[in-house]
Amino acid sequence: MEYRRLEIAVTNRDDHRILQDIRVLDLTQYFSGPLATLYLSGLGAEVIRVDPPTGDLSSDTPLYAGPEGVSVERKTEDDMGAVFLKRCRAKKAITLNLKSEEGKLLFYRLVEKSDVVVDNFSVGVTKRLGVSYETLREINSQIVQCAITGFGLTGPDAAKRSYDVIAQAMSGLMSITGEPGGKAMKAGSPLADSISASFALSGILAALFHRIRTGHGQLVDISMVDCLFSLIYDDPLEAYDQLGMTMRQGNRIPRFSPFNVYETQDGEIVIGTSNNEMWRKLTEVMGCQELATDNDFGRTAWRLENNDIVDGVVEAWSKTCSTQEALAKLETAGIPSSAIPDIHAIKGSRQMQARGMVTPLLHPTIGPLPGLAAAGFPIKFSDSETGYDGPAVRAGQHNNEIFGKLLGIIDEDINRLKDAGTI
């Protein structure tokens, strides 16, 4: 097959979307996969959701958002899953029964005209459906396929099913999260889903660059557990263990002291010091400069071994200040510190607004949903445009466009495919 987009290496300077002209077939559902393809859309790719004729399961998963607000049960036909509305923005949507022979053939025709296929099926499902990389590369040798799974496509755990919390547990993240001596704890956000989506984006972009150089696509194998493990294992965990330090440190970082959350008169703040110079500045702010040269407090090793005592000194000072007073003094001294605002305050912050990181959450028929918002695209470029154009749409909304205009199927045959349950 002739390579149809090699000219992408020298794009028109007037084209301001990095992935303009890249077409993505999105077989994903729920969380990690839809977020990965959302990122691709944010970079300008044409993302086509390929749902079964019954629709995307996450669109009918609580919590719901609709004309009567947010609810745990569907109240109206217009209610849609809030996560679906966030993660399926700016994508086209078709329906296709991949279990039918005709549905498979239609998908193969789409693969011929596409650049990327993304799935987050359990291991073995793509082979059963006839859409594995081994099959698709015979149809289009330049296709890039990304498979997101819990444990990866290889290894003794490959066949195990996984959700975010399972990946957090099996990566070791939960074992080091929480208070010392307390229960293991998951992160407050589904980090395994989100981080694997980010790694999937990186892998897909790398594979597309490889295709530009070689003319060949390849399979990108993303394991949620691998992604999390690669991040947490960058920390010297064995060193903590050998020194008798507990790996589960709450809000502390075992290499730094003081480094924690501290009470103020009206809330809490985070203070982080990473060396003796910062500790000296902090003692000046607290009015106890003598501790900077004290035989005990003046040594990093002693502070690390006596974190409770050090934290007691810092909190005795922070409790004498309001949050704003404490932060003003710390920032003047150049000491990293922050209040701990909730998500509502962060949403309305001038910083988030200036960066375009908060956008209205749109419903396909209602428009902006009161009180709900979605994150903007997090990567900024000097020349290239990014962002999400349009709301999530219902399953099959672009059937006529994709099957009719892209594949050239006439209306009569599209109606027949609908009647047969193929689309």
| Identity at 155, one-letter amino acid code | G
Write down the pLDDT at residue 15. Answer: 64
Cα radius of gyration rounded to whole Å, the chain: 26
Would strands 64-66 and 80-81 be described as parallel, antiparallel, or unpaired?
antiparallel
The whole-number pLDDT of residue 60 equals 84
CA distance 161 to 164: 10
47 three-state secondary structure: strand
State the pLDDT at residue 59. Answer: 84
Domains of the chain: 6-231+358-419 (3.40.50.10540), 251-263+268-339 (3.30.1540.10)
Query: Which pLDDT belongs to residue 381?
Result: 97
Under-70 pLDDT residues of the chain? 1-15
Look at residue 55 in the predicted model and tell me its pLDDT.
87
**Model confidence over 99-154: pLDDT tens digits?**
999 999 999 999 999 999 999 999 999 999 999 999 999 999 999 999 999 999 99
Q: What is the pLDDT of residue 245?
A: 87
pLDDT attached to residue 3: 41
pLDDT digits (tens, 9 = 90+) for 63-79: 999 999 999 999 999 99
Model's pTM, two decimal places? 0.93
Contact 247, 176 (CB under 8 A): yes
Tell me the C-alpha distance between 187 and 172, whole Å. Answer: 12
